[in-house]
Chains A and B, each alone.
Chain A
Amino acid sequence: MIELDKLTKKFHQKGKDVVAVNEVSLTVDEGQICVFLGPSGCGKSTTLKMINRLIKPTSGRVLINGEDTTGIDEVTLRRNIGYVIQQIGLFPNMTIEENITVVPKLLGWDKKRCHERAVELMSMVQLEPKQYLSRYPRELSGGQQQRIGVIRALAADAPVLLMDEPFGAVDPVNRDAIQNEFFQMQRALNKTVIMVSHDIDEAIKLGDKIAIFKDGALLQYDHPDTLLAHPADDFVSGFVGQDSTLKRLLLIRAEDAADNAPSVLADTAVADALELMEEHDRRHLVVTDAQKKAQGYIRRRDLRGQSGAVQPFLQTFNATAAHDEHLRILLSRMYEFNRSWLPVLSADNDFLGEVTQESIADYLSSGRSRGKSSIVSPAEQVAV
């Protein structure tokens, strides 16, 4: 857990005081990712660097796991905080293994333990230890180098990780892969992370919480979906973009936006099914078995003028929604298959409801947001 308590930085520049960071207070819970977001010069990087005291705070405190870090000397403090920067900063004269184990060695780990740690971390980023540990940074691609940069910061198993635009210099294709990998690693290792970014999409993808900075002040500190749904002021809404509602689609899961559509059994009479459709103003119904497992669906136009059970008119789904898929994927699928609705199914094929254009619009305009409920990041879904 990281707590910032009225953290302030003033510079003396050209005869006048400039307040770079003004009484920023926030708490990042253990195992969560907090993204500092804002335009350049907003104080986000300065705030980050005050945590490991690369920049000395003018006033205020930083607490890590409840302990005030003010009294800890810089070197000890930094060895207990991982640090990743955009320029990566691998040491070119050292092999990959030497780079990864710099801090463990300084902490006095023996050779065997250092090596084992390096191998373990390498396999977490899908780099073959045998092939890469003895190489030099220059022999690796930019994306590979940044993976090493990240695991170097994790090598000594510091509980806290600070990242200054870590994926900013990686090309977009690799960036996505590295972000996903990092997210899995972060969840597996339960690290508390503060990441500086200027990329709202990255913040939405990785952040459990987003802190928006402007002119050295913290404007809003919220769950990404709350931020997008309820920006605190015009600056925040301008910063998150005019398509903030579309961005929210990434954060909303199918089961949240599903309506409670009725379903029928396969032996239901056609007349009853038609009546149910009439009642609910629908042109289709999902058919399930007695255990609520989805079987397929029936269409109103097939049933008209028919009699008997609906069984012969059963259609199979050509597109469905998994309960934990986010709405952006679902909307894309709906357009792809030219559907106005998708059945939402659990992992065990239970019918949970339907996602329709109306149910999505209802959710987005309802003022509900995921901020208060369990936090799910889009990266997590890729990880599953």
Chain B
Amino acid sequence: MDFMTAFQHIDWAQVVSLTGEHIALVGVAVGLAIIIGVPLGILMTRFPWLAGPLQGAATVVLTLPAIALFGLLLPFYSQFGQGLGPLPAVTAVFLYSLLPILRNTYLALSSVEPGIREAGKGIGMSFWQRLRMVDLPIAVPVILAGVRTAVVMNIGVMTIAATIGAGGLGVLILTAISRSDMATLFVGAVLVSVLAIVADLFLQWLQKTLTPRGLKAAR
């Protein structure tokens, strides 16, 4: 069996649709994590007593093995008839993404130089004005670094979601394992890492593009 024939039996249409599914699953989960995580990070800077408990909880979630988290979410979603499928998978990946995004948002905002904060306050900017005009633009690169971590990490994690019927490239890999189909397994594995690398490069570009010019300017 030469190299080309080994890949002939693969259903490329299915591969494409599973890749699309995979991207959608991770995209929705991380998207939600940004929508929830960034405001939570902001709240933590506004109310510092929140920082400890919130970061603690997010860290605990991150230490749970993915497969166990899926298992834990099953009975919860079963109550709504959604025990298997994309919902628990998206929830789990959302929870995983929360910590890096939350933590980076909080770190970035709380490490804005005290002088910048005092000057902003002193010339009469409100908390929200400082946030919108100064703190968030300065924090963008660090927040996006958190998003990058979350995306790269969870493109891999999402493959496990196939075990609970969520779809995505995990399906390709699981089926290939059960059939001892090395070629398909290879395609699935390579696609997952290529996806992660491409996402990483894209986010790196986005990070550079969104970094305010004043922070990039050479001294």
Contact = CB atoms under 8 A, between A and B. Distances in A.
Interface of A: 52, 54, 74-83, 85-95, 102-103, 106, 135-139, 149, 152-153, 162
Contact of B115 (A77, A87, A102): A87
B213 A136 contact: yes
A89 B116 contact: yes
Nearest to A82: B123
Given A95-B214, A138-B214, A102 B125 contact: yes
A91 B124 contact: no
Given A82-B123, A106-B125, A136-B213, A91 B115 contact: no
Query: How big is the B interface, by class?
Result: 20 to 34
Interface in B74-133: 113-126, 129, 133
Contacts of B66: none
B124 A79 contact: yes
A78 B125 CA distance: 8
Contacts of B120: 89, 91
17 contacts: A78-B121, A83-B119, A85-B118, A85-B119, A87-B115, A89-B115, A89-B116, A89-B119, A89-B120, A91-B116, A91-B134, A93-B138, A106-B129, A137-B214, A138-B217, A138-B218, A149-B119
Interface centre among A54, A91, A162, by most B CB within 10 Å? A91
Nearest to B117: A89
Given A78-B121, A78-B124, A103-B124, 14 more contacts: A74-B124, A75-B126, A78-B123, A81-B124, A83-B122, A83-B123, A87-B114, A89-B115, A89-B116, A92-B215, A93-B214, A102-B123, A138-B219, A139-B218
B118 A54 contact: yes
A76 B114 CA distance: 22
A58 B214 CA distance: 40
B146 to A, nearest CB: 19
Contact of B119 (A77, A90, A93): A90
B137 interface: yes
A75 B129 CA distance: 11
B212 interface: yes
Given A91-B133, A93-B138, A93-B212, A77 B124 contact: yes
A52 B113 CA distance: 20
Contacts of B124: 74-81, 103, 106
Contacts of B113: 87, 89
B114 to A, nearest CB: 7
Contacts of B212: 92-94
B116 A152 contact: no
A270 B212 CA distance: 81
A92 B116 CA distance: 9
A139 B217 CA distance: 7
A153 B119 CA distance: 9
Given A76-B124, A79-B124, A137-B214, A92 B138 contact: yes
B125 A85 contact: no
Given A85-B115, A136-B217, A139-B217, A54 B121 contact: yes
A158 to B, nearest CB: 9
A102 B120 CA distance: 9
Nearest to A79: B124
Nearest to B116: A89
A317 to B, nearest CB: 51
A78 B215 CA distance: 27
Interface in B5-63: none
A116 to B, nearest CB: 20
Interface centre among B113, B122, B138, by most A CB within 10 Å? B122
A83 B114 CA distance: 15
A90 B214 CA distance: 11
A81 B122 CA distance: 8
The 5 A-B residue pairs whose C-beta atoms are closest, nearest first, are: A89-B119, A87-B115, A83-B122, A78-B124, A136-B214
Contacts of A87: 113-116, 118-119
A60 to B, nearest CB: 20
A89 B118 contact: yes
